């Protein structure tokens, strides 16, 4: 498979997921709230639990649970290393801490303590970046779903009018 074939398949899969979100049942607000919840949770360093937390948060804000799970893919296996690095960098600048890792002195207690501190720093960075990202996601999703539904309604109305006019001409 050539690189161009791979890219075409990737773009097609991405477009299908995009259309799947746009075609979700429910109000525009519900879909946008689900996306905002998913994006926010996607910024938290809790990869194994993101879907569960996103569904719970979507339930609390009355957002679409399916869209919330889709939103968590903002952090994915392709970008997780730079993404988590960004969370650490932001969190580190807010909560000044120096996590020292010395492989020569590997002790379980030290690893657990530093791991908890690292997760705390990344969580702070995730919350700081996740709140504005969720807001932007809400606005863009709301406008995008609204525009899609309006275009679709106009297309269906035109088709209905053409069908109706075509039927009148035959009679």
155 found inside a domain: no
Q: What's this model's pTM, rounded to 2 decimal places?
A: 0.79
Domain that holds residue 47: 26-146
Instruction: List pLDDT tens digits, range 33-51.
Output: 999 999 999 999 988 899 9
Which pLDDT band, with edges at 50, 70 and 90, does 55 fall under? very high
Domain annotation covers residue 92:
yes
Q: Which residue has the tokens 């908890």?
A: 116
How many separate domains does the chain show?
1
Residue indicated by tokens 């948060």: 57
Share of the chain above pLDDT 70, in %: 88
| Cα 95 to Cα 78: distance, rounded to the nearest angstrom | 27
CB neighbours (10 Å) of residue 123? 18
Band of pLDDT at residue 171, cut at 50, 70 and 90: very low
- The answer as to whether 17 is a domain residue is no
């Amino acid at each position: 498979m050539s690189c161009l074939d791979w890219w075409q398949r990737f773009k097609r899969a991405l477009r299908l997921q995009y259309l799947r979100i746009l075609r979700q049942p429910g109000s525009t607000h519900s879909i946008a709230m689900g996306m905002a919840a998913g994006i926010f949770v996607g910024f938290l360093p809790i990869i194994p639990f993101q879907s569960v937390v996103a569904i719970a948060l979507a339930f609390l804000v009355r957002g679409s649970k399916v869209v919330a799970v889709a939103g968590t893919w903002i952090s994915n296996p392709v970008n997780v290393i730079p993404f988590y690095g960004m969370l650490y960098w932001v969190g580190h600048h807010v909560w000044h801490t120096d996590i020292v890792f010395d492989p020569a002195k590997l002790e379980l207690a030290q690893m657990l303590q530093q791991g908890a501190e690292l997760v705390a720093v990344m969580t702070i960075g995730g919350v700081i970046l996740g709140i504005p990202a969720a807001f932007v996601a809400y606005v863009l999703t709301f406008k995008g779903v609204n525009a899609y539904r309006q275009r679709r309604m106009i297309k269906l109305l035109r088709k209905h009018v053409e069908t109706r006019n075509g039927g009148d001409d035959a009679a």
